[in-house]
Structure 1
Amino acid sequence: MEVITFGESMVLFYPDATGPLRYATSFRKTIAGAESNVAIAMARLGHSVGWFSKLGADEFGRYILSVIRGEGVDVSRVLTDPARNTGLLFKERFGFSNPNIYYYRKDSAASSLSAADLDAAYISGVRILHITGITPALSPAARGAVFEAIRIAKESNVLISFDPNIRLKLWNIETAKPILLEIASKADILLIGEDEGKLLIGTEVPEKIAEAFMNKGCSTVVVKLGKKGCYAENLKEKAYVEGYLIEKVEDTVGAGDGFSAGFLAGILRGLGLREAAEYGNGVGAMATLVSGDMEGFPTYEQLMTFIGKTGYVDR
Structure 2
Amino acid sequence: MSEVMTIGEPMVNLIADSPETFMEARTLPRQMAGAEFNVAIGVQRQGHSVSYVTTLGNDWQGDLIVDYMNGIGFDTTGIRRMDGAATGYQLKVRSSDGEPKVIYFRAGSAASQTTPDIVDDLSFDGLKVLHVTGIFSALTDKTYETVERLIDTAKQHGALVTFDPNPRPTLWDSEQSMIEATNKLAAKADVFMPGLSEGRLFSGLEDPRAIADYYMDMGVSKVIIKLGAEGSVLFERDADGNRLETVVPSFVVEVVDTVGAGDGFAAGVITGLLEGLDDERLLERANAVGAIQVTSVSDSEGLPTTQELADFIASTPRQEVSL
Is residue 161–residue 190 contact of structure 2 (8 Å, CA) maintained in 1? Answer: yes
User: Which of 273, 283, 289 is the equivalent residue of 1:283?
Assistant: 289
Alignment length (residue pairs): 309
Paired letter, 1:18: P
How is 1:1-315 mapped onto 2 (pairs within 5 angstroms)? 1-119=2-120, 122-123=123-124, 125-171=126-172, 172-236=174-238, 237-246=244-253, 248-308=254-314
How far did 1:264 drift?
A: 1.1
Q: Distance in 2 between matches of 1:69 and 1:205?
A: 44
Q: TM-score, normalised by structure 2?
A: 0.91
How far did 1:229 drift?
A: 0.9
TM-aligned CA distance change 1:168 to 1:124, over 3 Å: farther
TM-aligned CA distance change 1:137 to 1:107, over 3 Å: same
Q: Distance in 2 between matches of 1:286 and 1:109?
A: 32
- CA deviation string 1:238-262 (max 9, x = no partner): 111100110x211111110010011
* 3-state SS, counterpart of residue 194 of structure 2: strand
Is residue 78–residue 121 contact of structure 2 (8 Å, CA) maintained in 1? Answer: no
Is residue 124–residue 158 contact of structure 1 (8 Å, CA) maintained in 2? Answer: no
Q: Distance in 2 between matches of 1:58 and 1:74?
A: 20
How far did 1:6 drift?
A: 0.8
TM-aligned CA distance change 1:14 to 1:205, over 3 Å: farther
How well do the aligned residues superpose, as a CA RMSD in angstroms?
Answer: 1.7
Q: Distance in 2 between matches of 1:305 and 1:155?
A: 38
How far did 1:121 drift?
A: 5.0
Q: TM-score, normalised by structure 1?
A: 0.93
TM-aligned CA distance change 1:183 to 1:27, over 3 Å: same
Provide the identity percentage. 37
How far did 1:204 drift?
A: 4.4
Paired letter, 2:114: L
Is residue 36–residue 68 contact of structure 1 (8 Å, CA) maintained in 2? Answer: no
Spell out structure 1 runs of 4+ moving beyond 4 A. none
- CA deviation string 1:83-130 (max 9, x = no partner): 210001122432133122221111101001111111465236411111
* 3-state SS, counterpart of residue 122 of structure 1: coil
Aligned match of 2:321: none
TM-aligned CA distance change 1:235 to 1:120, over 3 Å: farther
* 3-state SS, counterpart of residue 295 of structure 1: coil
Paired letter, 1:179: A
- For structure 1, which runs of at least 5 residues remain unmatched after alignment? 310-315
How far did 1:82 drift?
A: 1.6
Is residue 227–residue 243 contact of structure 1 (8 Å, CA) maintained in 2? Answer: yes
Q: Distance in 2 between matches of 1:70 and 1:191?
A: 30
